[in-house]
Amino acid sequence: MSTFRRRVEIVSSGQADGGEVRAALEDDFHHFRVSLHHQQGILTHITGQALRYPYTACPEAIEPLHALVGMALSPIAHSVTRQTDARHQCTHLLDLAGLALAATLRPAQSRRYDIQVPLRVEGRTRPLLQLNGELLLEWQVQGAIIEGPSPFTAVNIREGMARWALNTLDPELAEAALLLRRCTMISIGKTHHLDEQIHASSTDRCYSQQSLRAPQARRMKGSTWDIASNEALCSTDQAWLKARSQASS
């Protein structure tokens, strides 16, 4: 297994008084899409697509996203976790919805995040995040602790990082940092033989892993890919991402 890779692409059309945002996420484990509509500062409609996912129950988590309808637009992607209980959502669909929500308050644009997390050597890795092709973040991580650079030195990616980032960083840098945190955490999955699982674990951390659902959430064998380059990610999403923006222009 090689470096964990994720790409997130977001295309927004319209302005803060109304429009649509489409967002796609693809990595070694997942491929999801979210589209949302907003009007007069309110999220009015949201839906998703599950294209590649680890458990049979994952596509069912599109329905709980509807709990976000009616919330006020926010420049803070993490605000979706105050509107709904993240433990009863797909983690990655909800993250993607938050990124799309934050895009509603920016000028119509396209945005692309590329993340790489090398396999750990003696517990260490050096994850990095690019925004629109430019390096924005690169950390030295030992276990769960960011060793540098400042201002991230000594931050624990597993405990309290969201609160710290939202209170310390500007919203856009916090958005990028929490996205890189998520990828740094889940990249550990590449060291496990996930297809040996029969069904999801009953951890109660996400929709498929809820104890009442996990025994029926069967493992989608072969759903983990070993991605050689970020350029291969979201390649099949391009027409879908651009369809609305072209129709609105």
- Residue 245 pLDDT greater than 80, yes or no: no
Q: Are 137 and 176 in contact (CB under 8 A)?
A: yes
Task: Assign 244 a pLDDT band (cuts: 50, 70, 90).
Answer: low
Q: What is the model's pLDDT at position 192?
A: 87
| Residue pLDDT, tens place only, 102-146 | 999 988 789 999 999 999 999 999 999 999 999 999 999 999 999
Listed range (16-20, 96-100, 156-160) with the worst mean pLDDT: 16-20
Q: What is the model's pLDDT at position 30?
A: 98
Q: What is the model's pLDDT at position 249?
A: 39
Selection from 36, 92, 41 nearest residue 68 by Cα: 36
